């Protein structure tokens, strides 16, 4: 590079390391520091620095690690100052140390060695290139030992062996100057264990390639769990192991080892493998932990269960028969539905948080979970159909519903978000109909957790005739008693309803499911805010000690199990993150996360931009009209601004975020546009320039299951048919004259809790009543508050930019005192 070119280079393009050294020198000097430099620059009309500018620079001294010199250099760079100008100013200043910072070093490493993961038997090549004022010499090291005959800029080991794995560094000498390169880690994979299907490893092009998948294991308590995975790529991949969808703390290596496993270590394991631009997942594998049974015979020896029959004796057989039987599930499947954004009825708040928290807890118990928000009638029926496809003999099936509901003649009905006002049984889903279909699958355990009101629907006189089989494996957990409401307490927090607030504290207990629910009922009974108004009701025909913590022992029907697993996996396949390269030289990372099975989060991050580009930002746009995305809530700088409250703490920072909900409505593959906007410092008008790329990510998450389709003939609709079904007597909303009449009956006493308005409220702002199936939410006389009125600490009415915690950690006694002291009816 010529001297004239160096002098013409703008100082805002200086390398960060040079700027840092220069600022350190100018900040420390009193007589020849940044103040004197500012005075010299201010005399130059081309880059005049005002007294206000100098005052702004001086304020940086008060900041932690603040640098007034850095502020001054930025001001000079914004006004077109070049290296030539800066050199002249520093010569006038007479600061030789500062001038020395601008001179090229006697030895400079231009290319650093990069960490790499590769296959045993391939060629390893590490590079380190440097320039200096005299010939440069190289010496490679592995840890602290010199690598023999490694005197060139490139270290080549061919073929690489397992023993060659480790950390490498290069020492560079140029005369009296000496520099060390950065460390490079080399990971060598032995893939004789397991090859990823359909992949080739003949060369490394820098992209991640999955080479080793973990294998399923069956262990006994006390044994050591060892799982291994591996990927090749440059730089070396990062690893994070997950169990039941939850990251395992400190499990960030290729090999996962857990000595002396316990019963609660059973579950489904997989590893997330990532680089700066890519992310992929290994296969998910089952780890089954069986209890180790040992007995002492005649006080002389200790035998395992496998040894007892070899010893023989009727007493041994009798002893084993007297031991409590370990119960297993062939699989565990859960469908969680939260309806809150109703079209014709009061909207709810807590279902979103309830579903999210239960999803995370059930995954820790090794459940395959499908979590969905805001489903219409047809979508709910199709979701139940897909749920039923996951069930087979011995499976534990769990259905949780949070939203409006009612109960007639012992049958419970879940209300979709598009239900008319008033609604009938034909517009809703009958829980007992779903149970009947589950029984046909010969499931091992059927658990229903219904977080809704159970008031009678006076607009529905149908009497469904649903004949259930007599099975000893059914458990119902109702959030409230028959003919009563379930409450939602509203305040400025963001937390669960009453039922889930107490349920999530007990759900992981290793107890019979009915015992768990009994303890939840006792906890709810101590909550003064709802005492005498809401109580958990448990109905059970369970004759065995079935628990949600029971381990999974897959059935012998391997093909059937794999088919069900593939079906479940469809609803949880996230698009892989991708790197987009634009013609201007910018590189964008496009990442994805799932908040629910039908809610996708897209985030964009600038990985690289041209040095002369002063501003760069990437937006996503042009989404399908099926998703009904609000442009005002797209491409926000914080997750909370776009409605992402529950994942905010786990998303990467410094991105633009977009939340896509209702993915079940997506009829075609999701195609959208990534728009890059940039401005260049050299342009006088500062008008932005745009580049676009079209991205197709297929059908993500639940969209793959096509829940938008028409209800199939063999769906749960057949068992929900009532005399007043849409095919016989369509439902209509009341006419305007009826609506007007009902509005006149809205005056009531707000100082007490009305038995017909199940809503507890401690906010001063009206947020709507909870009359789910009445003609109008103002109708006092209809006794129609059949909706779910949660106890929730509420969504923020005006979400700010602060991160909102997912789980409530408030002291329950303090919360009770607040509720009791300010209890009054929700204003209409």
Cα separation of 760 and 63, whole Å? 48
Cα separation of 540 and 661, whole Å? 36
Cα separation of 500 and 150, whole Å? 64
Q: Which helix (H) or strand (E) holds 6?
A: helix 3-8
Q: Which of 157, 121, 551 is nearest to 365 (CA)?
A: 551
Cα separation of 491 and 791, whole Å? 10
Describe the chain by its helix, strand, coil percentages, rounded to 5.
Answer: 25, 25, 50
Which structure tokens are listed for 569? 């996996």
Cα separation of 22 and 277, whole Å? 33
Cα separation of 137 and 813, whole Å? 72
Cα separation of 159 and 366, whole Å? 42
Q: Is 404 a catalytic residue?
A: yes
**Cβ-based neighbours of 566, under 8 Å, separated by 6 or more:** none
Which structure tokens are listed for 356? 């999210």
Q: Which of 12, 184, 209 is nearest to 119 (CA)?
A: 209
Cα separation of 765 and 414, whole Å? 28
DSSP β-ladder status, 578-581 and 587-596: antiparallel
Cα separation of 484 and 536, whole Å? 11
Angle at 246 between CA 240 and CA 251, to 5 degrees: 30
Q: Which helix (H) or strand (E) holds 491?
A: none
Cα separation of 384 and 236, whole Å? 43
Q: Any long-range contacts for 562-570 (C-beta under 8 Å, 24+ apart)? A: 564/331, 564/389, 564/390, 564/392, 565/284, 565/368, 567/386, 567/389, 567/390, 568/333, 568/368, 568/370, 568/390, 569/284, 570/704, 570/705
Catalytic residue among 85, 242, 345, 404: 404
Write the DSSP symbol of residue 138. Answer: E
What values do phi and psi take at 779, rounded to 5?
-80, 105
* Residue tagged 């479940």 (tokens): 568
Cα separation of 294 and 305, whole Å? 6
Beta strands in 732-809 (DSSP E): 760-761
Cα separation of 597 and 369, whole Å? 9
Q: Which of 701, 699, 703 is nearest to 671 (CA)?
A: 699
Determine contact, residues 132/177, Cβ cutoff 8 Å. Answer: yes
Cα separation of 84 and 38, whole Å? 16
Q: Which of 289, 290, 118, 284 is nearest to 214 (CA)?
A: 284
Q: Is 453 a catalytic residue?
A: yes
What values do phi and psi take at 267, rounded to 5?
155, -165
Which structure tokens are listed for 751? 């100082």
Catalytic residue among 170, 229, 428, 453: 453
Determine contact, residues 604/618, Cβ cutoff 8 Å. Answer: yes
Which structure tokens are listed for 503? 């349920």
Cα separation of 409 and 626, whole Å? 38
Cα separation of 424 and 412, whole Å? 12
Which structure tokens are listed for 147? 């690598």
Cα separation of 422 and 430, whole Å? 17
Please tell me whether residue 532 adopts helix, strand or coil conformation: coil
Angle at 171 between CA 168 and CA 172, to 5 degrees: 140
* Residue tagged 């937006």 (tokens): 619
Q: Which of 413, 408, 529 is nearest to 792 (CA)?
A: 529
Supply the residues annotated as catalytic: 404, 453
């Amino acid at each position: 590079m010529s001297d004239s070119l160096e002098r013409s280079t703008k100082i805002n393009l200086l390398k960060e390391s040079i700027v840092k050294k220069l600022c350190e020198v100018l900040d420390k000097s009193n007589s020849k520091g940044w103040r004197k430099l500012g005075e010299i620059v201010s005399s130059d009309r081309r880059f005049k620095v005002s007294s206000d500018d100098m005052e702004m620079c001086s304020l940086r001294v008060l900041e932690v690690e603040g640098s007034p010199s850095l502020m001054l250099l930025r001001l000079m760079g914004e006004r077109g100052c070049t290296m030539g100008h800066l050199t002249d100013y520093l010569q006038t200043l007479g600061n030789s140390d500062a001038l020395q910072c601008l001179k090229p070093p006697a030895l400079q490493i231009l290319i650093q060695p990069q960490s790499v993961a590769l296959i045993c038997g391939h060629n390893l090549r590490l590079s380190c290139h440097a320039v200096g004022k005299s010939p440069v010499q190289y010496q490679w090291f592995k840890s602290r030992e010199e690598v023999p005959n490694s005197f060139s800029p490139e270290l080549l080991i061919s073929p690489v062996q397992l023993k060659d794995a480790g950390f490498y560094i290069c020492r560079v000498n140029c005369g009296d100057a000496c520099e060390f390169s950065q460390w490079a880690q080399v990971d060598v994979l032995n893939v004789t264990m397991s090859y990823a299907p359909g992949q080739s490893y003949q060369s490394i092009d820098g992209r991640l390639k999955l080479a080793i998948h973990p294998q399923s294991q069956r262990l006994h308590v006390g044994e050591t769990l060892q799982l291994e995975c591996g990927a090749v790529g440059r730089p070396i991949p990062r690893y994070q192991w997950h169990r039941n969808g939850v990251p395992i703390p400190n499990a960030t290596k290729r090999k996962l080892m857990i000595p002396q496993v316990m019963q609660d270590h059973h579950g489904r394991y997989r590893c997330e493998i990532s680089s700066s631009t890519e992310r992929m997942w290994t296969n998910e594998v089952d780890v089954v932990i069986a209890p180790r049974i040992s007995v002492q015979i005649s006080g002389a020896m200790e035998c395992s269960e496998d040894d007892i029959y070899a010893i023989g004796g009727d007493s041994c057989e009798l002893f084993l028969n007297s031991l409590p039987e370990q119960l297993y599930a062939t699989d565990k499947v859960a469908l969680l539905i939260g309806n809150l954004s109703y079209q014709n009825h009061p909207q709810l708040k807590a279902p979103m948080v309830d579903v999210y928290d239960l999803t995370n807890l059930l995954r820790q118990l090794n459940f395959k979970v499908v979590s969905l928000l805001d489903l219409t009638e047809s979508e709910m029926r199709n979701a139940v159909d897909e749920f039923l496809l996951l069930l087979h003999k011995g499976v534990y099936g769990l259905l949780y519903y949070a939203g409006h509901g009612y109960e007639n003649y012992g049958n419970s009905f879940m209300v979709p978000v598009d239900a008319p006002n008033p609604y009938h049984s034909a517009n809703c889903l009958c829980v007992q109909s779903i149970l009947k279909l589950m029984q046909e699958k010969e499931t091992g355990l059927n658990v229903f957790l219904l977080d809704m009101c159970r008031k009678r629907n006076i607009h529905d006189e149908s009497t469904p005739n649903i004949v259930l089989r007599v099975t000893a494996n059914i458990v119902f957990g109702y959030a409230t008693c028959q003919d009563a409401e379930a409450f939602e307490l509203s305040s400025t927090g963001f937390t669960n309803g009453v039922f889930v607030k107490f349920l999530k504290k007990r759900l992981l207990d290793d107890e019979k499911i009915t015992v768990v629910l009994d303890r939840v009922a006792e906890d709810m009974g101590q909550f003064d805010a709802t005492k005498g108004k809401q109580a958990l009701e448990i109905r059970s025909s369970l004759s065995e000690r079935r628990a949600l913590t029971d381990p999974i022992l897959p059935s012998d029907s391997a093909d059937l199990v794999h088919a069900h697993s593939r079906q479940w996996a469809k609803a949880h396949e996230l698009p892989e993150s991708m790197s987009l390269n634009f013609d201007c030289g910018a590189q964008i990372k496009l990442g994805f996360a799932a908040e629910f099975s039908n809610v996708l989060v897209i985030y964009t991050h600038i990985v690289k931009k041209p040095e002369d580009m002063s501003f760069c930002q990437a937006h996503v746009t042009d989404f399908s009209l099926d998703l009904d995305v609000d442009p005002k809530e797209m491409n926000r700088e914080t997750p909370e601004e776009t409605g992402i409250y529950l994942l905010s703490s786990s998303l990467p920072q410094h991105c633009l975020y977009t939340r896509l909900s209702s993915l079940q409505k997506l009829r075609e593959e999701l195609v959208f546009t990534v728009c890059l906007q940039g401005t260049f410092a050299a342009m006088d008008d500062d008008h932005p320039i745009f580049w676009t790329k079209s991205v197709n990510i297929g059908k993500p998450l639940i969209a793959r299951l096509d829940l938008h389709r028409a209800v199939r003939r063999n769906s749960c609709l057949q068992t929900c048919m009532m005399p007043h079904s849409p095919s016989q007597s369509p439902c209509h909303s009341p006419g305007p004259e009826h609506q007007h009449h009902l509005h006149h009956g809205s005056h009531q006493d707000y100082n007490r809790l009305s038995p017909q308005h199940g809503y507890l409220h401690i906010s001063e702002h009206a947020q709507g009543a909870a009359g789910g199936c009445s003609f109008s939410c103002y109708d006092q006389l209809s006794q129609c508050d059949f909706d779910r009125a949660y106890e929730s600490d509420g969504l923020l009415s005006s979400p700010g930019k602060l991160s909102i915690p997912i789980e409530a950690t408030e002291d329950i006694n303090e919360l009770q005192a607040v509720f009791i002291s300010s209890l009054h009816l929700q204003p209409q």
